A and B are shown apart, each in its own frame.
Chain A
């Protein structure tokens, strides 16, 4: 397990979890309102899409952890990854709510790049 693939895997896990949490938070009225103004709530279709995308991001994060670090350490790593990315999101929502969508997309982009790196390094 080289240092590079370890680092790439950690980046992939963290960024996909961050993107996932971003989507899940926006599916909540409170945080959608913070972005779009009081009284605005996501439409049903939007909410469902955000929830699916969010869960998907978290799942990808879990898969990366399990594949790279094995069954035992993988679950432990995932719990830590969720904690770290959730904290980052809470701080972002608190102090930079207006940029949340851009940050979410950036996290998704980073996760795709990192996933590609992990897959190529593992081969």
Chain B
């Protein structure tokens, strides 16, 4: 097989991309949506649209949540508190159940409980409908659904490695990467698809390389555990070292002592960090004399996921330890993890990430579609009656179901959120079942009729469903566009507008497929058949 490097890399690029393209489209779509998971969750809880969003001083919020926790969970060995941010105005807390045997809790049922409160009034926000919200998309893009998370993470990891190979081989094989940098020629069939694939890939290339590699980094100790195993006997010790925590957990002493007020500690921590806000608070053994309070800085300042932390004595409020300075490798991993999660990003920067993520979705979609477009003439030539082979037909069906079908499913998820009764038991899972049912129906239809008219139908359905989310919002109890803009409720307004844009875009694409160059194609077929 005497092939040049470019040719062999072209072959590798095609197959490493095509075989996993549909999984990758899902990963990219759900991952891109996850940049706004908090905002999506807020949109999906219309009951919360009216609550106050004034900025509350951190000390006040800390005092309120301490109040609630001392009432609700005095015997809990660990409290986790998340401080309010611009994206999530409530104070959230979760707590570990007390050691088994107490309060009649049967052994083995160790479930964390949680609560959200309004930081100003201390009132519990439990009235909103139950939903997984944006977190569904976040989890979906690496844990998938309906399967053990271990399987899902391996599948996604393998696909991500295929993707990394596809990106690098794609760079090697792209002959005119600079000459073609700004080139896009629509309406030219295969040439246009290639231009679109090149543009969406090259113009966001740093992002694609980054997101794929850092995605693998987030689960790298699962994919390549050999380094860990060679150096550490106990993986718990490794993770303790990695996350900067103590190797041995402090035990409760059994002597009770009142927990020091959290508000002054929050102020002290902020002061030690030159004004940076506190992001998370962890209280161990509240009410015990061995209690500790660990503050972690709020993200948004650097890029790294390893955020500075301070540990205080839980009774006296004195500073115990500051987390050790990380070594270069651990810091590098922290930066990479942080880049992937992207929580540090301000709204404008997050918008740019979102744009690049959309480019990634388009890159994958144009790639798999390009393959089908390239394959078709070969089949037309080979089979006199113009019938296409099984492989191509399968790819056609998977393209349709995987791309248009997924878009329909996402819109149905949002419709289900608003149409299912708020008080219904098991709502969160039902919304997700609706997502997969819609995807299943679309996929079956796609595989049965992988033709242009089915594309038009499915794109139009997705377009209509997305576009109509904007009026659906106020009709089902949410803050409509005028209200949300007037109140400065940007997450909800943004969701409505982006849905409208996506819907219009899909409808435009559906229309575009109708008036496409059918005549020249027929002429070409006639020429070939003659």
Contacts and interface: CB of A to CB of B under 8 A. Distances in A.
B203 A6 contact: no
Given A77-B349, A93-B184, A83 B179 contact: no
Interface residue tally on B, bucketed by range: 20 to 34
Contacts of B353: 80
Contacts of A93: 182, 184
Interface in B317-365: 335, 339, 344-346, 348-349, 352-353, 355-356, 359
B351 to A, nearest CB: 8
Contacts of B344: 73
Contacts of A10: 348
B185 interface: yes
B199 A90 contact: yes
A74 B356 CA distance: 16
B206 interface: yes
B349 A90 contact: no
Given A80-B207, A90-B199, A25 B348 contact: no
B258 interface: no
Interface residues of A, number: 27
Interface in A85-101: 86-87, 89-91, 93-94
A89 B349 CA distance: 20
Nearest to A10: B348
B189 interface: no
B302 interface: yes
Which of A69, A70, A72 has the most chain B CB within a 10 Å cutoff?
Answer: A72
B114 interface: no
Contacts of B183: 30, 90
29 contacts: A6-B348, A7-B348, A25-B182, A28-B179, A72-B304, A73-B344, A73-B349, A76-B339, A76-B345, A76-B349, A77-B349, A77-B352, A80-B207, A80-B349, A80-B352, A81-B352, A83-B203, A83-B204, A83-B206, A83-B207, A83-B352, A83-B356, A84-B355, A86-B181, A86-B182, A86-B203, A90-B199, A93-B184, A94-B185
Interface of B: 179, 181-186, 199, 203-204, 206-207, 210, 302-304, 335, 339, 344-346, 348-349, 352-353, 355-356, 359
